[in-house]
Every structure is written in structure tokens, then in C-alpha cells.
Chains A and B, each alone.
Chain A
Amino acid sequence: MAGAKRPMERREDDRLILRVSGLKTYFFTTEGVTKAVDGLDFEVRKGEVLGLVGESGCGKSVTALSILRLVASPPGRILEGRIEFMGKDLLRLSDREIRKIRGSKISMIFQDPLTSLNPVLRIGYQLSEVFRYHKGMDRMKSLRESIRMLKTTEIPSPEERVKNYPHEMSGGMRQRAMIAMAFACEPSLLIADEPTTALDVTVQAQVLKLMKEICREQETAILLITHDMGVIANMCQRVAVMYAGRVVEYTNVFTLFSEPAHPYTEALLKSLPRLGAKRTRLDSIEGQPPQLHRLPPACPFEPRCEYSAARCKEEAPGVTCLREGHEVRCHYPINGKKE
């Protein structure tokens, strides 16, 4: 998280694929400045799945878009920070250079496969575009590659499917097509922004399994953005919990579920339904998600925090390293030593 305290990653630097540090993406609207991402740090290593979790509007999707510099501008703007991808700062690349990375070295899967696919172009065309643009293939060859790619995503009769329009396919199949598109050029990093939210539960499991398999095969790292703790538990090795544009807790997936240190993480876990639990109502987090253009001056979670103390209203918490690989942004982390 914060620049100074990062002892544990050093020795693994050669496996580092993406390092985001101090990223700030603000939106300048008539209602004021919305600080969607406000000083974000995290790292993704080769072949790893990092989960980025948080409630709606905490800046998860903006983070994803910022990495590929796809934030709509105006009103959005990346103010500062570094996004180092394999040693290069993506924020300093020319438009041409970043285009070469998009879709080939870093690719994205979006939430709703229906709106994310062009309704008036055939699946085969949309898929073969990637091959033609990044690998310079001709029409025939790129179409053959598209069919091969659809086959790896286990879409039945891909030769027929390439002729379909998105509306002629089911939701699961559309997301498989999106996955095929994302893995077409064997990317080093896949950014999956709520890839299963729009799908029904059985299809969700299939799609996640498929993503896992292809990633293992291609050694692709995933930045998995979700609000679903079940998906996190299923897919990730490490997790960054986001709140109001910042990472508030950063740890491996086991510690996250067994010893959450940030009150927000604890509250999130409490609000999960549990099998065999006797209560009928789920716990929920009190209050409203913060409005990003009117954040509390100190700790943004303070108004909703059940452990809130006087200091939380006055001073923004820094990052505390509880143990190697477990960092938290809180004055009074649960189970942890008090600062």
C-alpha cells in the first residue's frame, strides 16, 4: 500500500506484472469533484489472481478502466500515480503504444456481455478483429483462429456460432465469447470486471472454472473485480478490499476470511449468508455507501464503523503492516496491535 512499507514484495520483483501506486482518478462534474480512485496501491504477480472487492461505487470499475486508460475524459481524469506494467509506466505511453497493449498484453472482460458486444456485428467478426489488429492476420486466417478460440471456451459448434449476432446467443455463451476475445492474444494480465454478475448461478460457476483453466494454461494473471465474496473465495490468492477509492485491507484470501483486520472487511463478511445459521435476517452495514464527492475529512468509513473512536474523526489512518503480506488502513485494526 503506502510506498515506504513494502518490504515483502521486493524479492519477488521478477514475478511482478502490474504495480499500481498512488493512483488518483477524479471525475470533474458540475456537482463537484468525485474522487473515484484516491491514492490506490496494489500489485499483481505472474499467474496470480488478485481480488478487488468492495461495494458498488467504491471505485473498482474506475480502477480497471484507469489501468488501460479507458476512463471517459471529460469528465474523468487520471491525476497522478504510476501504473507499471512489466516495467513500463502505462500512464506515460503514447496513445499508439497503449493501444498495442490493450487487447493483446492486457485484456478486459466486462460485466454485462450483452451490452459489451456490438449488437450489429457478428461474433466471428468481433473476435477476429483482435487477431487482425494485433497479429496482422488476414480475414480467413483470423476467422479460423476465432473458431479455434471459441472451441477452447467450450462453445458448442463454434463454426456456426461465429455467424451469430450477440442477441442470438445465451448470456453464458456471450460471456464465453467475451472470454475468447480476451484470451485471444494470450495476455499477461486479464482484468475481469464483475465477469459473472450478470449471469445466473450455474453459468457463473462454469464461467469461473473456464477462466481459471485458461489462465493456468496461459499463465495469465487476473485482476478480478467483484463484490461477491463467494467468487473471491473460489478464485483468488490475494485480496484487496476497497472502500471509497482506496485499498483498506490487503492480504491473502485465507487471512481475509479467518482474521479480517479492518472493520469494513469484518462487516462485509458478516453480511454474507451462511448455511445452517439460525437467524432469518442478514446483517447489513449501517448507513449509506459514501458519496465520493463529499467524503468525511478523516477516515471515510468512520461514520459507519462500529469501533469508531475520537481519533478516527480527526486523523486519516495510514497503512499498518500487521505481518508480512497483511496490510490494513485503520487506526484500530481488529486483532491487531494498536498503533
Chain B
Amino acid sequence: MLRYICIRILSMIPILLGVSILVFATFHLVPGDVVDIMMGDEVAGDPKVLMELRKELNLDKPVYLQYLYWLWDAVRGDLGKSFTSGKPVMEEILHRLPVNVELMIIAIAFVILIGIPMGMLSAYKQFSFLDGIVRVATIMGYSIPNFWLATIVVLLGSLYFRWLPVLQYVPFSENPLENIKCMVIPGFVLGLTTLSYIVRMTRSSVLDTLRQDYVRTARAKGMTEKLVLFVHVLKNSLIPVITVLGIQIGVLIGGLVLTEEVFVLPGVGRLILLAIEQRDFMIVTGSILFIASVFVVINLIVDIVYAFLDPRITY
């Protein structure tokens, strides 16, 4: 097991290098250079200032050296400084990260705590009335676009009927209860697509497992239906569900930007959006590199969970 984990961690290195090259390439794929973009049309610019800025950003050196300097800084956690605020990019990200982490936790909690039991129930009562409702609801769930649902929830819930708190972010450290109140709905909206997907996935996986010979063996041993379902079926049917969940986490991260924007939450997604508007290149690339790395780490965790669930995986 330990060997397997080590191998998986080592195999992250080439992936992360690939990601860093892609992100770094965006510096050079834009016409002109970063300094031109930063300055935009505002200042024709004092050439001397521009030169100095280029020197500071190592733009006067060969590309491979630029990359190595940039990579070395990134490895040490230095993603450069924001052009607009002058603060380190890492600080800006970490400052906003709690919002994202909380949103993700809420969304994933909905997915796991509602999605998996609902899928199991739906499979176990296949073709029942309940199963029918679940199937229709999940089709709706993953057909409704995230941004539309978010907008409708805000419009109807907060502005029109005033059931929900008005858009306003309260940090957890200030008032935990209020904070959770204002985060639950966005978290649910964020997770809905994935939730529906996981319900369907769990349903078909459980149905498949129920037909396996070893389930028949368990019944022939006299196990109760409850034991059959929770001991013999559950673990086996979770294997494909976990795989899909790992991929879906990427979708969730993508959804963060929209959810934060519509619900006006100060997270990394809005930081990126704002940075793009303000042409704050360091923030954009830094955040992308950061998010990509997080995604790679999450995949690592999924793989490890997977190995715990399925002893047939060779370490």
C-alpha cells in the first residue's frame, strides 16, 4: 500500500511539470509581452520604466531560463506579485481560499450524503414509484445549467420572495451560523449537477452489483437484506462511483467561478474573474497553477481511496 502511494505521488511530478509548462506558455502565447498587456493602452510608457519592469520579471532572459526561474519560485510558493494590489499572489489566493473550501465541502457533502443513499435506494426499489421520481429528478438535476439555477435561486429566493438571506457574505470566524446560512444554498446549487450524476451512477452500479454471484452467495448464507446491501453490495458498487466522483470534482472546481459570481462570494473564482478584467496576469496564471495543482492532489486522494476499496488493485 505504502509503495503504491509513493508511486502515485512520484507520478504527480510529470503531470505538474506539464501543467506548469502550459501555464507558463500563456505568458508567451499572448501578442507582445506581459508588460505590454499590463500597461494596455493607458500609457505609451516610459521605455526606461518598461525595461526595468521587464528586468524585474526576468523577461530579458532566454525563455528556458525564464521558465526555470518562474518554476523555482512557484515551487517555493512564490507565484509573483499582483500588478494591481502589489500583494503576493499566494497571499491573495490563501486569503480567499476558505470560501472555496467551504463551498466545496458543502457541495461534496450533499453529493455523498444525499447522492449515494438515494442511488442505493433507487436501485434497491428498482421500477418503484420512488425510483421513477428519483430518475426524473436526476435527469432534471443534470440538465439544468448551474448558472441558470443560481440566478433563479437568487432572483426568486433572495430578491423576490425574500426567503433567503440577501446576498451577503459573513466570514465563518465572525458568525458561524450566519456563515453557514449564506453558504448552504450556493453549495447545493454548485453540487446539484454532480449530485444528480452520482445518484444515477450509484443506481446503475448497485443494480449491476446486485446481479453478481457473490450477492447470491451472501443470500444463500442467510444474510438479511440489510447486511447484503450494506456489507456485500455497497463497497463493491462504490468503486466506479468513486472514480466518477474524482472526475466530477474537476467539474465542481469549474463551477466555483460561476457560483461565486452569482452569489457574490469573495472566493478565488471571483479573484480570477476580476484579475482577467484588470489584466492582472500574475494573479491569473498563479491561480490557475494553484487550482490545477489542487486538482492533481485531489485525484491522488481519489486513487488512494480507490485502492482501499478494491484490494485487487496491485500496489
Which chain A residues have a beta carbon within 8 Å of chain B's beta carbons? 65, 68, 70, 72, 99-104, 107-108, 110, 112, 115-121, 129-130, 133-134, 165, 167, 178, 181
Of the A-B pairs whose beta carbons lie under 8 Å apart in the complex, a sample of 27, sorted by A's number, is A68-B220, A70-B220, A99-B223, A102-B219, A102-B220, A102-B222, A103-B222, A107-B220, A108-B220, A110-B213, A110-B216, A115-B213, A116-B213, A116-B217, A117-B214, A118-B214, A119-B214, A119-B310, A119-B311, A119-B312, A120-B236, A129-B223, A129-B227, A134-B222, A165-B311, A165-B312, A178-B217
Is B218 an interface residue when CB atoms closer than 8 A count as contact? yes
Contact between B311 and A167, CB atoms less than 8 A apart = yes
Is B50 an interface residue when CB atoms closer than 8 A count as contact? no
Is B175 an interface residue when CB atoms closer than 8 A count as contact? no
Contact between B311 and A118, CB atoms less than 8 A apart = no
Nearest opposing residue in chain A for B218, CB measure: A118
For residue A146, give the distance in angstroms from its CB to the closest CB of chain B: 13
Residues A116 and B214 in contact in the complex (CB < 8 Å), given A121-B231, A167-B312: yes
Contact between B214 and A103, CB atoms less than 8 A apart = no
- In the complex, which residues of chain A have a beta carbon less than 8 angstroms from the beta carbon of B214? 115-119
List residues 142-176 of chain B with CB under 8 A from any CB of chain A: none
Q: Which 3 A-B pairs have the closest CB atoms?
A: A103-B222, A103-B221, A102-B222
For residue B238, give the distance in angstroms from its CB to the closest CB of chain A: 9
Contact between B222 and A70, CB atoms less than 8 A apart = no
Residues A117 and B217 in contact in the complex (CB < 8 Å), given A104-B222, A133-B223, A165-B312: yes
For residue A81, give the distance in angstroms from its CB to the closest CB of chain B: 20
- In the complex, which residues of chain B have a beta carbon less than 8 angstroms from the beta carbon of A167? 311-312
Contact between B311 and A99, CB atoms less than 8 A apart = no
Is B212 an interface residue when CB atoms closer than 8 A count as contact? yes
- The residue in B214, B216, B239, B310 that gathers the most chain A C-beta atoms within 10 A of its C-beta is B214
List residues 208-246 of chain B with CB under 8 A from any CB of chain A: 211-214, 216-224, 227, 231-232, 235-236, 239
Contact between B236 and A119, CB atoms less than 8 A apart = yes
Which chain B residues have a beta carbon within 8 Å of chain A's beta carbons? 211-214, 216-224, 227, 231-232, 235-236, 239, 309-312
Contact between A181 and B221, CB atoms less than 8 A apart = yes
- The residue in B211, B219, B220, B236 that gathers the most chain A C-beta atoms within 10 A of its C-beta is B220
For residue A164, give the distance in angstroms from its CB to the closest CB of chain B: 9
For residue B140, give the distance in angstroms from its CB to the closest CB of chain A: 28
For residue A120, give the distance in angstroms from its CB to the closest CB of chain B: 5
- In the complex, which residues of chain A have a beta carbon less than 8 angstroms from the beta carbon of B236? 118-120
Contact between B219 and A70, CB atoms less than 8 A apart = yes
Nearest opposing residue in chain A for B312, CB measure: A167
- In the complex, which residues of chain A have a beta carbon less than 8 angstroms from the beta carbon of B216? 65, 70, 110, 116
Nearest opposing residue in chain A for B213, CB measure: A115
- In the complex, which residues of chain A have a beta carbon less than 8 angstroms from the beta carbon of B219? 70, 102
Contact of B213 among A112, A120, A133, A134 (CB under 8 A): A112
A181 to B222, CA, bound (A): 12
A134 to B227, CA, bound (A): 13
- In the complex, which residues of chain A have a beta carbon less than 8 angstroms from the beta carbon of B235? 120-121
Contact between B220 and A103, CB atoms less than 8 A apart = yes
Given contacts A119-B236, A134-B222, A181-B221, 19 further A-B contacts (CB under 8 A): A70-B216, A72-B211, A100-B222, A102-B220, A102-B221, A103-B220, A108-B217, A110-B220, A115-B213, A116-B216, A118-B232, A119-B214, A119-B310, A120-B235, A120-B236, A129-B218, A129-B227, A130-B222, A178-B217
A101 to B310, CA, bound (A): 31
Contact between B222 and A120, CB atoms less than 8 A apart = no
Contact between A120 and B311, CB atoms less than 8 A apart = yes
Contact of B222 among A99, A165, A178 (CB under 8 A): A99
Nearest opposing residue in chain A for B308, CB measure: A120
A107 to B216, CA, bound (A): 12
Residues A99 and B217 in contact in the complex (CB < 8 Å), given A120-B309, A165-B311: no
Residues A121 and B232 in contact in the complex (CB < 8 Å), given A110-B213, A115-B212: yes
- In the complex, which residues of chain B have a beta carbon less than 8 angstroms from the beta carbon of A103? 220-223
Nearest opposing residue in chain B for A181, CB measure: B221
For residue A101, give the distance in angstroms from its CB to the closest CB of chain B: 7
- In the complex, which residues of chain B have a beta carbon less than 8 angstroms from the beta carbon of A65? 216
- In the complex, which residues of chain B have a beta carbon less than 8 angstroms from the beta carbon of A117? 214, 217
Nearest opposing residue in chain A for B233, CB measure: A118
- In the complex, which residues of chain B have a beta carbon less than 8 angstroms from the beta carbon of A165? 311-312
A187 to B221, CA, bound (A): 11
Nearest opposing residue in chain A for B309, CB measure: A120
A104 to B217, CA, bound (A): 13
Nearest opposing residue in chain A for B232, CB measure: A118
For residue B230, give the distance in angstroms from its CB to the closest CB of chain A: 12
- In the complex, which residues of chain B have a beta carbon less than 8 angstroms from the beta carbon of A119? 214, 236, 310-312
For residue B87, give the distance in angstroms from its CB to the closest CB of chain A: 49
- In the complex, which residues of chain A have a beta carbon less than 8 angstroms from the beta carbon of B309? 120
A284 to B157, CA, bound (A): 76
- In the complex, which residues of chain B have a beta carbon less than 8 angstroms from the beta carbon of A120? 235-236, 239, 309-312
Nearest opposing residue in chain A for B210, CB measure: A72
Contact between B222 and A133, CB atoms less than 8 A apart = yes
A178 to B231, CA, bound (A): 18
For residue A295, give the distance in angstroms from its CB to the closest CB of chain B: 27
For residue B219, give the distance in angstroms from its CB to the closest CB of chain A: 6
Nearest opposing residue in chain A for B220, CB measure: A108
